[in-house]
Amino acid sequence: MNWKYASYRSFWNMLDLLFPPVCGGCDKPGHRWCVDCQNRVDVLNGILCEVCGLPQDKPGMCGSCLAERPHFRELRAWAVFSDPVQSALHRLKYRRDVSMGDMLASEMAPFVQGLNWQIDIVIPIPLGRQRFRERGYNQVGMIAKPLALALGMRYAPKGLVRRKETRSQVGLTKAERKTNVQNAFQAGMGMHGKSILIMDDVSTTGSTLSAGAVALYSAGARDVYALTVARALPQHGLMHA
């Protein structure tokens, strides 16, 4: 563990001593992520689409990516969007429990290392101005920053900015999602020739991440990989961004 990440974790450990935590997955007191919830995480593995990471029956690209390949090189998610991960993300996003960011990052770090992606910069998908004012923080950034620290990568919270306010992706069809985020992002400086990891909390169709990749490639990025904490699968009937 490098010293920057060790210092970051020590800060949260001290807060845990001052303000005893409850589990992000089940509300059990004493730990931010109890052993039971650790064992219940449905890690997304097995046979996945080589591009978007959707589970499928055979290796290669899924039908959706064959019909229209997303702009990122690969998308992977750590876990299925179900409890206890779903509860932890909702706690971070809607209940202002920002400690969940550090907890989720520490759980995800070995998974991301196992992907063997050569990454220079980690960038969170940015919130719109109105949502940021309402929430006060970018929940994706609360995960992306400690993950970048754990992996020894540069963290660039302003590597992408929103050029326009967009509707929530919840409840939109795949075509509507694509239109909603088209030309929504602009890349910052210093992207030329870099291999970049863009992060979001939950993916379904990958439209938001693909739109972010377009902006980064336009700014000269060499490769753009995409990562989310969780993946909402078709059988869930969920339409998260």
- How do residues 118-135 score in pLDDT, each as one tens digit? 999 999 999 988 889 999
| Of the candidate ranges 49-58, 104-113, 166-175, 181-190, the one whose mean pLDDT is the lowest | 166-175
Instruction: Please compute the mean of the pLDDT values over residues 21-35 and round it to a whole number.
Output: 96
Higher-scoring residue by pLDDT: 184, 87 = 87
Res 112 pLDDT > 70 = yes
DSSP-assigned letters across all residues of the chain: --HHHHHHHHHHHHHHHHS--B-TTT--BT-SS-HHHHHH--B--SSB-TTT--B-SSSS--HHHHHS--SSSEEEEEEESSTTHHHHHHHHHHS--THHHHHHHHHHHHHHHHHT---SEEEEPPPPHHHHHHHSS-HHHHHHHHHHHHHT-EE-TTSEEESS-----TT--HHHHHHHHTT-EEE-SS-TT-EEEEEEEEESS-HHHHHHHHHHHHTT-SEEEEEEEEE--GGGT----
Instruction: Please compute the mean of the pLDDT values over residues 68-95 and round it to a whole number.
Output: 97
Look at the block and give the residue holding tokens 């992000």.
Answer: 24
Instruction: Please compute the mean of the pLDDT values over residues 215-235 and round it to a whole number.
Output: 95
Instruction: Please compute the mean of the pLDDT values over residues 52-63 and round it to a whole number.
Output: 96
- pLDDT of 235: 64
- How do residues 165-205 score in pLDDT, each as one tens digit? 776 776 667 777 777 777 889 999 999 999 999 999 999 99
List, in order of start, the domains of the chain with CATH numbers.
3-236 (3.40.50)
- pLDDT of 239: 41
Q: What pTM does this model have? A: 0.92
- pLDDT of 237: 52
Res 6 pLDDT > 60 = yes
- pLDDT of 238: 44
Give 163's pLDDT tier (boundaries 50, 70, 90). confident
Instruction: Please compute the mean of the pLDDT values over residues 75-81 and round it to a whole number.
Output: 98
Instruction: Please compute the mean of the pLDDT values over residues 199-219 and round it to a whole number.
Output: 95
- Which percentage of the chain shows pLDDT scores above 70? 95
- pLDDT of 35: 96
